[in-house]
Amino acid sequence: MERIGKYVIHKTAVTSGYARVFFCHDPDLQVPVAVKLFTVKAGQEGPLSPAQWLARFQAEARALAAFDHPHIVAVKAMEGVDGHPYFVMPYQGAHLAYEMGKDVVREGAPNVDIPRRLALPRALVLLRQLASALGALHRRGMVHRAVKPSNILLTTRENGQAKLADFSMVKLPERNPPLPDHWLGSTDYCAPEQRENASGVGPEADVYSLGVLAYRMLTGGLPDLSQGAVELPEGMPPELAALVRQSTDPDPAGRPAHGGVVLQALGAVTVEPSARKPVVQVVQVAQARRSARQPVEA
């Protein structure tokens, strides 16, 4: 396949159980775009029927299209080709791993994939943007259920602003098309109650995932949640340490109620001048990742 409709395919970005995302070129506007194509075929076996997968795909597109938010990926159109619908999104330059590396050290991985922490001011900027995005979802009765680095895209302009992406697992206020009876989410970022019953979770599940993500940004590693309360290293603002600890409480009732509460708490966090240092532009990190010739510090 060389095209999806009028869009010229450059490469495949992501493949999931029911869709593929392609980096493409819009020949009319002469800009790069991302195109998500529904790939389930009639008669294909799986936990859901093709019609049920299609309903989820359409629900994802409509959920994204309902927002005009600076930190949520936009959907500009939904069309169809050869019986397969697709929707079109603005192209984003990278995702969060471009700045903080992979979550786990892998033997022989390029230096740019090595896990690393972000500078405190940069982490706070991204966390505030994501809390704002989640607050917008939660006000509409939605729960994202998949907050993790690979679902956070970064623009190549404006210092790499965060865009929350991939609404394929989003819980809508109305009943979602059904999913198999197993938990949804990524093991390292998933709230305990989401592992038990993904269909019954509230905004607190997203708050938990954001708390784990905050720890990952600020320390360079994932928290050991089996050891009780999560603690940030010494030298972190006490308000931020308390917020991360509260957000990763195993009990949903102990967490901030929704993204808007987290955003308000982040607004009260102050950074000492000694913690401020230049932030590597995301476009520079992306270029280094492509070449993989030298270490990159975020």
End-to-end CA gap in the chain = 37
pLDDT greater than 90 at residue 9 = yes
Pairing between β-strand 19-26 and β-strand 77-81 as defined by DSSP bridges: unpaired
Q: Give me 252's structure tokens.
A: 């949903």
The span from the CA of 224 to the CA of 226, in Å, is 5
Q: Give me 127's structure tokens.
A: 């966390």
The CATH code belonging to domain 3-90 is: 3.30.200.20
The span from the CA of 60 to the CA of 54, in Å, is 10
Q: Which of 121-130, 135-144, 284-293 has the lowest mean pLDDT?
A: 284-293
What's the mean pLDDT when you consider all of the chain? 85
**What percentage of the chain has pLDDT greater than the value 70?**
85
Q: Tokens 């001048």 label which residue?
A: 273
pLDDT greater than 80 at residue 81 = no
pLDDT per residue as tens digits for the range 223-234 = 998 878 898 998
Instruction: Select from 3.30.1130.10, 1.10.510.10, 1.10.260.40, 3.90.1300.10 the CATH code of 94-275.
Output: 1.10.510.10
Contact 66, 58 (CB under 8 A): no
Please state the rounded mean pLDDT for residues 176-199. Answer: 76
pLDDT greater than 70 at residue 33 = yes
Nearest alpha-carbon partner for 57 in 42, 71, 73, 40: 40
pLDDT per residue as tens digits for the range 98-107 = 899 989 877 7
Confidence category of residue 283, pLDDT binned at 50, 70, 90: very low
pLDDT greater than 60 at residue 43 = yes
Nearest alpha-carbon partner for 19 in 56, 45, 68: 56
Confidence category of residue 41, pLDDT binned at 50, 70, 90: confident
pLDDT per residue as tens digits for the range 189-201 = 999 999 988 888 9
The span from the CA of 289 to the CA of 102, in Å, is 12
Contact 175, 192 (CB under 8 A): no
- Whether 94-275 and 3-90 are alike in CATH topology: the answer is no
Please state the rounded mean pLDDT for residues 265-289. Answer: 61
pLDDT greater than 50 at residue 281 = no
3 state SS for the chain: CCEECCEEEEEEEEECCCEEEEEEEECCCCEEEEEEEECCCCCCCCCCCHHHHHHHHHHHHHHHHCCCCCCECCCCEEEEECCEEEEEEECCCEECHHHHCCCCCCCCCCHHHCCCCCCHHHHHHHHHHHHHHHHHHHHCCCECCCCCHHHEEECCCCCCCEEECCCCCCECCCCCCCCCCCCCCCCCCCCHHHHHCHHHCCHHHHHHHHHHHHHHHHHCCCCCHHHCCCCCCCCCCHHHHHHHHHHCCCCHHHCCCCHHHHHHHHHCCCCCHHHCCCCCCHHHHHHHHHHCCCCCCC
Contacting residues for 270 by C-beta, under 8 A, at least 6 apart: 237, 239
The span from the CA of 30 to the CA of 169, in Å, is 31
The span from the CA of 189 to the CA of 210, in Å, is 8
pLDDT greater than 60 at residue 205 = yes
Return the pLDDT at 290: 40
Q: Give me 5's structure tokens.
A: 């409709």
Contact 281, 287 (CB under 8 A): no
Return the pLDDT at 295: 34
Please state the rounded mean pLDDT for residues 272-292. Answer: 48
pLDDT per residue as tens digits for the range 107-133 = 777 777 889 999 999 999 999 999 999
Domain boundaries, the chain: 3-90, 94-275
Q: Which residue would you say has higher pLDDT here, 135 or 12? A: 135
Return the pLDDT at 287: 42
Type of residue at 96? L
Return the pLDDT at 135: 98
Return the pLDDT at 273: 66
Q: Tokens 């808007």 label which residue?
A: 260
pLDDT per residue as tens digits for the range 46-55 = 667 888 888 8
State the CB neighbour count (10 A cutoff) for residue 214.
26
> What phi and psi, each to the nearest 5 degrees, are found at residue 187?
-50, -45
Return the pLDDT at 92: 84
Confidence category of residue 1, pLDDT binned at 50, 70, 90: low
